[in-house]
Structure 1
């Protein structure tokens, strides 16, 4: 049975007659893509997880409303979008402001790899799927009001027709088209003008070398060395801690004021989140006698320079599948 099974292909007269294990089996096939959809809408991995759970619960309770006019997958996306809008109305009635998204959380690549393979080899489509999960895009979307945000994601990311979006939101096609234009304009205000400047870039040899140099300089707490790798207009933030620093001098000054310079006993592990390079740093702690989680730096690299660093706290380590400690006597390289 395909992932886009229609009601008439289920071999039953309606979802209302499907038992819970069968229904769960059908719905679970779409869990990861629904989670990514909710993550784009909400910016928070944890909120997306809760919203997917709510989506599947609503779908089970409302299974008799599925009439087969659309695919089962599209029906789930409708429920998920409304669940996101409900959460935003309750918990975040106002979008992000000032360039900061304090609720932003990373999304591990190992889970993104679970997404269904694209049914096209079109380079533009493949690039769109990657770019719209990168932190720069997810953060920019959070500055849009909830309904225009939903319109943008449904139309530009998922490729839904305007009439389907209008039906979901209870609006006219003209209203949806107008909202889409406003959302695109709002998105451009929070992304660099050039597309290549807001994407993290491919994992090529130049990017890997820059990540290696950044890692080595960070472990050595060589701020001057790190500064040579930053673009003049680099941005640095650390959600959920308030504070957005823009420009090399401002970023370096913040590091110095925070006491990073001279910190000793650091080690690093490379990973990837949101299709971007990331470095997890560990700090030697006593009396534990081990290196314990410190922070995770996610890098946006453009034209051979680091253009953005988003740093996350140690509470993100478990969700990214990172070790909870590094043994003090383990001398193997963690930067391979």
Structure 2
């Protein structure tokens, strides 16, 4: 299962008066120039292929020119725009929320997977598989209004820290991917997040970090109902039922339902993204680009693929070359992973 994928703090503007003139964002990331829109990418074949693709599809008069209305790029989130090990970050949020809510749910002390979680037996929780994880995620939403949920996420993202790096989770976004998003945005590409993660979870913070508005975020969702409270104020209440799983075959469906057009660029990192890349790159009307991020850097991040319980990459790894997809090697292609 991939319950995989933060407005303008990181947004930069490409200055038109000189290639050497630069702009720095508020997080003190490396300066980005017109001469090098992807400074955290090493100068090799993959970087060249990306820049060549963007150049030819946005240059008036080019045989490969794509009209602005059709410049759609879709990105997975978990493992593609930010890290996902040793568990999906939304699952970390759900675990923290369940522990906070447990005092109001004494029945959880004798009900799995809650019992195992409250006993800190994560091995048993993970052994419960997809159903157990869905129960935990649903419990972190259920019964509250959308405003209450948004506040919980916002409070958590400000304070929670990753157990290995000590960074806040929203600091574990990938600097090279931030640069790529902004490069595409500067060339009138509409960038969308297409993630197995929860759509409401991402909408709280993703616009600020990625410069992607909330209406360009597609994710899994649980059911929600409309009700009017005793004070006459209407609100939306989250229910503990899955509404849509935006993963694997669900990703092209989600793209169609939310966007109504096929992307020309898709970027993922796992077999959960395979169908999105396949659907994106098989159309013949425009030039198309599929990319897979291969996590190969055990020192700066993690190294994993075929046997990982998170972000498994097997079929995509086997078939990337055959399908014409770029296999981006984190260790070889990136000179920086996280922003400073």
Q: TM-score, normalised to structure 1's length? A: 0.25
Bigger fraction of residues in helix: 1
Higher RCO (Cα < 8 Å, 6 or more apart): 2
The structure that has the greater radius of gyration is 1
